[in-house]
Structure 1
């Protein structure tokens, strides 16, 4: 590679690195190097022809340099930068004009006039045969979004390039026709497939949105899901509260049996019998009610086939169908899932009876806490009265009783 080409490489590398920001996703230094690489590949394949390698490589390096000045006039800006650079390096105007002509030829759709123009045209559009063609096309579209106010949609963009690949573009050099044409056709087919897939997805989304607007199915499902989940949480909370009360009363009774009850046989402690009995009885009552609040109900003798047919019961509850034969159960499920209305009716009954169970459970739990509170208050009062009116005499008796010698 000649010295002037090396200088051009250094100049362009610095120019594009310093003047192109992250908005330039396609026309950047990386893509410029790719064009130069493809130009070298084509020049190697065209050694037997009269091609000025130096002019082609200079045009390739300066091809996208104009973007460093302005996004809207890259071709003329690239020519001006190439002219200024070559003039400073004391190149003749004739050579400079040829380099500028190659830059213009690469940008335009005119037919090439010589081998150099064939090479630079094929090198610039070599990405049509790239394995990353669709990704590069998306990057080019995104770059346009960064600079243009009105741009085609990605679907229109794909259609435009399908038309370009199919009818407008063709390679000029023999090497490109032999090595790149097949991949270009493959990219065209892939792009058609992507466009068809995107169109199908868009139609599906439109249909889904249309159906969603017309049908409240999702909202209804969300309603049932949220309400059933909330009721189940409330049931868990009730069971937890009952278990807490059950555990507290069990601890109280254990402590009474271990510490207080054995001492009631002593005559001096007889005044504690009634408070202790009150405390124990209320604790036992609280424990029984807590167990009743959490006791599961499996058998449901009230459910009969007639009520199931009338949809007056919650068939989805296992306690209502566990005695049925498998075939009868399957037939009933088939009847439920025949239409949406029947499914919603079943879910409604499930929610209704779950609420009925919660109502019974919370009502019993409320009474359980009331019994426990009343028992604690009465027991404390009983202990206080017993200590005040009956326990004092025993204490005085113990005080005046002489100690044994």
Structure 2
């Protein structure tokens, strides 16, 4: 029996109730988007093992649950939530450890140690290289203002430049699909800030 629909209903319901409305980026829409991208990337990357695919999808669902409790180091809180809840869905300690490792891999700067961790990392930041980048980024800007991470749009743009310059995609799929567009966005922001010669 596929337990995933049950888990998805449970976690999405939990996020809908528990996430602050001030999280304009790290919200349910983000989790569902990452889920969609993770499945798409995994298929293109040749992930066919049913257990691997299930663990990947479950990791995505839980990866931002920690935001219900803490903004910084939310990944560790997400692991606590997953570790507490997944045994009830029949997951073993070894499976939960894999889930937690995938969640931890999404912490910036990302440092994936295997193929599944690379996929979740690329899915989490897929928006950096696709249409809607500025709209999605604006939601993150509002969230960062609220958190005091930036205080104005110029600071945000400089942060984005540093982030885009240091960020890397890991899977062949994301490098092929997203890298070029991501580079174009970086150039565009630099142009806005007068940083191109």
TM-score (norm 2): 0.89
Matched, 1:104 2:91: no
Across the aligned residues of Structure 1 and Structure 2, the Cα RMSD in angstroms comes to: 2.1
* Alpha-carbon displacement from aligned partner over 1:145-182 (angstroms, at most 9, x marks no partner): 2233x63432122112112212x111111111111111
* Higher RCO (CA < 8 A, seq sep 6+): 2
- Cα distance in 2 for partners of 1:110, 1:161 equals 16
The residue that corresponds to 1:12 in the other structure is: 11
Name the structure 2 match of 1:87.
Answer: 87
Q: Which has the higher helix share?
A: 1
**In structure 2, what is the equivalent of residue 58 of structure 1?**
58
Equivalent pairs counted in the alignment come to 194
- CA shift, 1:71, in A, is 2.2
> Using the alignment, how far apart are the partners of 2:128 and 2:52 within structure 1?
25
Q: Distance between the aligned counterparts of 2:167 and 2:12, measured in 1?
A: 29
Structure 2 residue runs of 5 or longer lacking an equivalent are none
Alpha-carbon distance between aligned partners in 1 of 2:97 and 2:65, rounded to the nearest angstrom: 17
Shift in alpha-carbon separation, 1:49–1:181, aligned structure 2, 3 A: farther
2:145–2:151 contact (8 Å) kept in structure 1: no
User: Would the aligned equivalents of 1:26 and 1:143 in 2 still touch at CA under 8 Å?
Assistant: yes
**Is the counterpart of residue 135 in structure 1 residue 135 in structure 2?**
yes
User: 1:107/1:180 Cα in 2 relative to 1: closer, same or farther (>3 Å)?
Assistant: same
Aligned-partner Cα distance in 2 for 1:151–1:170: 23
What does residue 178 of structure 1 align with? 176
Residues 187 and 46 of structure 1: CA distance in aligned 2, closer, same or farther (over 3 Å): same
Contact 1:15 1:68 in 2 (8 A): no
Larger Rg, first or second structure (1 or 2): 1
Q: Distance in 1 between matches of 2:47 and 2:135?
A: 35
Contact residue 66 and residue 74 of structure 2 kept, 8 A: yes
Question: For the residues of structure 2 that align with 1:6 and 1:94, how far apart are their CA atoms?
Answer: 21
| SS across alignment from 1:24 | coil
Q: Post-superposition shift, 1:143?
A: 1.0
Residues 145, 152 of structure 2: 8 Å contact kept: no
What is the CA–CA distance in structure 1 between the aligned matches of 2:47 and 2:62, rounded to whole Å? 26
Partners of 2:97 and 2:136 lie apart in 1 by 31
**In 1, Cα distance between equivalents of 2:171 and 2:147:** 33
Paired residues of 1:75 and 1:107 also in contact (CA < 8 A) = yes
